[in-house]
């Protein structure tokens, strides 16, 4: 058990990547505080962990609200006496040409995806300092490493997460706090449902065909599964990553590395 007795706080735990990571952390022996704005969903995940012999609890939290974030850190420490890992993962995806993005949509995306990470770090770091260190992992995105048409708001929020991660890594390295982020490519989770629907409208095809179009963006030729991101998060959170801080780790089937081979005419042999 790679996370035995570590205390982990995971945001966006009700669904997708956060749910998979919560379940994996539970299996690996961590005590897991599952938080989400969807409190019932987070509670279901905590029960799933407990049903298989793990130790977990849940809270309803809006990561864009400072008092909620303070409460999630306080209640985790009250319950288990420490906080070893914070996984800032909650997020939303918004899209469209910049000329059509409403100011409220911009504010909401930045508030949840970027301010939420800032608030989590702001309130978790003092607790980690008391115990001599900790590990923070943030969910950025491949869309935080390069520009993507129609995703300018989302890209701006995730690009912010990448540089917030690097800045905090150097700010707290000497105090034993490591700060890293994962940059997923396209992962099969509900966050993409509206984009799949939009793709279907444009091409008049099935959801599976829409997913297949996204798959072909990746050199590996498929989209990722939430568990594949969860395993990268577990590594960055664990002591196995003890000399790794300030990293933005693509978990993306080669998407960030370059275009798929088939776009370049394929390869023989
Ligand atoms: N799925 C992908 O292709 C992909 C790719 C790159 C990055 N990401 C990022 O991964 C993270 C997880 O997304 P996912 O794909 O698992 O999607 P998801 O929709 O399955 O999960 C996101 C979770 O965040 C929660 N959430 C939303 N707003 C919140 C708030 N204000 N406070 C607390 N919780 C809130 C939702 O209720 C949901 O449970 C997000 O930050 C997303 O931007 C996803």
* pLDDT digit string, tens, across residues 140-179: 999 999 999 999 999 999 999 999 999 999 999 999 999 9
Q: Does domain 7-187+225-253 have CATH number 3.30.70.20?
A: no
Distance CA(74)–CA(123), nearest Å, equals 9
Q: Give dist(CA 262, CA 249) in Å, integer.
A: 25
Q: How far is CA 14 from the centre of its chain?
A: 12
User: What is the average pLDDT across 212-236?
Assistant: 97
Residues 269 and 251: their CA atoms lie apart, in Å, by 27
Question: How far does residue 89's CA lie from ligand 1's centre (Å)?
Answer: 6
Chain centre distance of CA 243:
21
> Which residues sit opposite 33 in a β-bridge?
9, 57
pLDDT in tens, 105-114: 999 999 999 9
Confidence of residue 60 (pLDDT cuts 50, 70, 90): very high
Q: Catalytic residue positions?
A: 154
Which residue out of 182, 189, 218 has the highest number of ligand 1 atoms within 8 Å of its CB and is therefore the one to mutate? 189
Banded pLDDT at 268 (limits 50, 70, 90) = low
Cα of 18 from ligand 1 centre, angstroms: 7
The CA distances from residue 168 to 11, 35, 107, 136, in Å, are 19, 23, 23, 10
Residue 262: pLDDT above 80?
no
Q: Which of 17-21, 78-82, 257-261 has the lowest mean pLDDT?
A: 257-261
CA of 11 to the centre of ligand 1 (A): 9
pLDDT beyond 80 at 267: no
pLDDT band for position 215 (cuts 50, 70, 90): very high
Q: Where are the domains of the chain?
A: 7-187+225-253, 189-223
Mean pLDDT to the nearest integer, 27-55: 98
Report, as an integer, the average pLDDT of 193-205. Answer: 85
Residues with Cβ within 6 A of ligand 1? 11-12, 14-18, 36-38, 41, 61-64, 89-93, 112, 139, 141, 184, 186-187, 189-192
């Amino acid at each position: 058990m790679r996370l035995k007795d570590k205390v982990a706080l995971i945001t966006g735990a009700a669904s997708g990547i956060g749910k998979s990571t919560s379940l994996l952390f539970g299996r690996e022996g961590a005590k897991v505080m599952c938080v989400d704005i969807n409190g019932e969903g987070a509670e279901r995940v905590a029960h799933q962990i407990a049903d298989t012999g793990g130790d977990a609890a849940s809270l309803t939290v809006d990561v864009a609200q400072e008092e909620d974030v303070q409460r999630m850190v306080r209640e985790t420490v009250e319950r288990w006496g420490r906080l070893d890992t914070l996984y800032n993962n909650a997020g939303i995806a918004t899209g469209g040409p910049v000329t059509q993005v409403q100011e409220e949509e911009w504010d909401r995306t930045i508030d949840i995806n970027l301010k939420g990470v800032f608030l989590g770090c702001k309130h978790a770091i003092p607790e980690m300092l008391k115990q001599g260190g900790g590990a923070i992992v943030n969910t950025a995105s491949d869309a935080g490493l390069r520009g993507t048409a129609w995703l300018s708001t989302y890209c701006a929020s995730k690009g912010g997460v990448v540089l917030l991660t690097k800045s905090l890594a150097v700010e707290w390295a000497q105090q034993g706090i490591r700060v890293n982020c994962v940059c997923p490519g396209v992962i099969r989770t509900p966050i993409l449902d509206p984009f799949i629907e939009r793709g279907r409208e444009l091409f008049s095809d099935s959801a599976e065909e829409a997913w297949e179009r996204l798959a072909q963006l990746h050199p590996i030729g498929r989209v990722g599964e939430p568990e594949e991101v969860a395993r990268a998060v577990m590594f960055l959170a664990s002591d196995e990553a003890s000399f790794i801080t300030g990293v933005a780790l693509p978990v993306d089937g080669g998407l960030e590395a370059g275009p798929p081979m088939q776009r370049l005419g394929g390869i023989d042999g």
